Structure 1
Amino acid sequence: MAFFARLQRLGAGARSCIIDRRMGGLAAAVLALSVGVVTQAQAADLPRVASINVCTDQLLMTLADPSQILGLSPYARDAARSWAAAEATKYRRLSGEAEDVLMLRPDLVVASLYMKRTTRELLKQQGMRIAEFDIAKSIDDVKGQIRRMGDLVGHPDRAEAQVARLDAAIARAREAVARKSYRVLALSRRGWVSGDDSVTGALLSITGLSNAASGIDISSGGFAKLETIVADRPDFILISEGRDVAEDEGSALLLHPALEKLYPPSRRIVIPEDFTVCGGPMLADALDRLVAELKRVGG
């Protein structure tokens, strides 16, 4: 009542301004309330997801809301394999088997085609919706999987942002590698060589570097003898760690005297394994690391 009494003592113009301000504030409050209701409704419509593969783990953590993620695979927290290992500690750690997934009753389960088929089949038999992802072997595969996961979790805009980030990293790497016709051999434990049909092979080819695997007749990936590697003499070897002490037999080959003589640190490109185990947003970081390593070795 006091508010209306004050209005009566004011002129018509002043009364109009006060009423307009009050109505404007009321409209803003109604609008904020309606936006909040819509946001809550949208969140309720988003699927609740469980991941049972380390590669789908990383796509899911990058693109979904935290509230959508019910659990991740046993390897999600493995820093050697998972680019998002630190982030994964915030979420439930699943066994990778069907039982704990069934207890969570997610709207969607994301998995790899290369994990245990019996687990996937059991989940399907119990009415679970399963989205299965193949191994990415090219940059187009990677972009396709990012977009697919974005659509599945209801955030295609985030997926497009990650694809744009990857494209920008590719452009930077191509500029850095321009006019450099280096042959690079991606070499892992026990002499495993990554061929063109691999994430590492895709990184080399997309930037304009040559994968030396083709020179030793390896296309999809395979083991190479020390003698074969020494005889082929690529310009650089690409490895996942720069240790100077072998931690086991598997890594001992990389520190063989013959390789150390031909490939000292100045001829070794180091890209951590968790950047290339899976195809996903981490490849932008892998490409930036590749550029940094080429600068370090004087390439």
Structure 2
Amino acid sequence: MGQLSAAETRSGPQRILSMNLCIDQLLLQLVDRDRILSVAADSADPQLSSIADQVKGIPVNHGRAEEVISFNPDLVLAGPFTTPHTAGLLQRLGYRVETIPLPRSFSEASKVITELADLLEVGPRGLEIARQLDADLAELQRQVGNRPDRPTAAFFEPNGFTPTAGTIGDRLLSAAGMENLAADLERPYLSLEDLISSRPDFLVLQAQPGVSRSQAEALLEHPAMQGMEGYGRILKLPPLAWACGGPEAVAAARELARQAGTVSR
């Protein structure tokens, strides 16, 4: 008998196709690259993804059933926004499709990591990543402390979009030692009037790769903002890495806390 290949001696799925950028971030940390058959097209776009360099050379897909069939994976990982039609069609054709939720908190992120790792049969690696995430978050919370006079922050994305209560962006601001100005809003956006009337201590803007000035920064040059005192110091959030939760979001929270001066040792 000939020797078995490395792939044949490993357990778990060996031809993994992912249709979601956030899942791709975790896949790269959990499994060997040669087990990843295809990643979401968004993951290879440097304007959208913090892992674009890491996935170079891995074929991409756009989440269409005919693409998945052409790759012939042994596991398809779908995000919560994958159309039920696509997932259902693939399942009827005999493909194994698993839907991975997107975390809304850091505790959910740890749970998603360990459950995905179990699915991929790399449980110990998932536990290691989740425990490190929890330890990093606990250390950040220790440094930030429980100040009763936390500064307010307005998370200002392009077109005024902002994370409201219960979102990962809201939890990120809390972890960084700030109160989310939009936590009590029923709508996920901030207007120019909101900024002028509320005067948050900080404005949190997301840096955009290859863009020297964001749309949000341009809005702050509106005549209505000129001459306003105390509408907030600008904090720059590291680009693209935080929205999926997980270790990257904890690192982003730590960077915000450093810029805001909310960490203490």
Give yes or no for contact 1:173–1:290 (8 Å, CA) kept in 2.
no
Q: Distance in 2 between matches of 1:125 and 1:260?
A: 59
Q: Distance in 2 between matches of 1:297 and 1:213?
A: 22
Give yes or no for contact 1:165–1:284 (8 Å, CA) kept in 2.
no
Aligned residue for 2:40, secondary structure, equals coil
Matched, 1:74 2:44: no
Q: Give the TM-score of the pair, scaled to structure 2.
A: 0.84
Q: Deviations over 1:156-179 (max 9, x none)?
A: 122122212222321332233223
Alignment match, 2:134: 167
Q: Distance in 1 between matches of 2:229 and 2:241?
A: 22
Partner amino acid, structure 1, of 2:153: V
Aligned residue for 1:128, secondary structure, equals coil
Matched, 1:100 2:50: no
Matched, 1:274 2:240: yes
Aligned residue for 1:223, secondary structure, equals coil
Aligned residue for 1:70, secondary structure, equals strand
Q: Which residue among 212, 218, 223 is the counterpart of 2:189?
A: 223
Q: Deviations over 1:5-56 (max 9, x none)?
A: xxxxxxxxxxxxxxxxxxxxxxxxxxxxxxx979765415544210011111
Q: Which residue among 122, 133, 137 is the counterpart of 2:100?
A: 133
Q: Give the TM-score of the pair, scaled to structure 1.
A: 0.75
Give yes or no for contact 2:153–2:179 (8 Å, CA) kept in 1.
yes
The structure in which a higher percent of residues are helix is: 1
Give yes or no for contact 2:40–2:63 (8 Å, CA) kept in 1.
yes
Structure 1 residues 95 and 114, CA, compared in 2 at 3 Å: closer, same or farther?
closer
Structure 1 residues 137 and 296, CA, compared in 2 at 3 Å: closer, same or farther?
closer
Q: Structure 1 regions of 5+ residues with no counterpart?
A: 1-35
Q: Distance in 2 between matches of 1:137 and 1:84?
A: 21
Q: Structure 2 regions of 5+ residues with no counterpart?
A: none
Structure 1 residues 88 and 203, CA, compared in 2 at 3 Å: closer, same or farther?
same
Aligned residue for 1:270, secondary structure, equals strand
Partner amino acid, structure 2, of 1:121: G
Alignment match, 1:201: 170
Deviates more, 1:150-159 or 1:287-296: 287-296
Q: How many residues align?
A: 258
Larger radius of gyration: 1
Partner amino acid, structure 1, of 2:260: L
Q: Which residue among 20, 25, 32 is the counterpart of 1:58?
A: 25
Matched, 1:241 2:207: yes
Structure 1 residues 61 and 265, CA, compared in 2 at 3 Å: closer, same or farther?
farther
Matched, 1:183 2:152: yes
Percent identity reads 27
Q: Distance in 1 between matches of 2:45 and 2:212?
A: 23
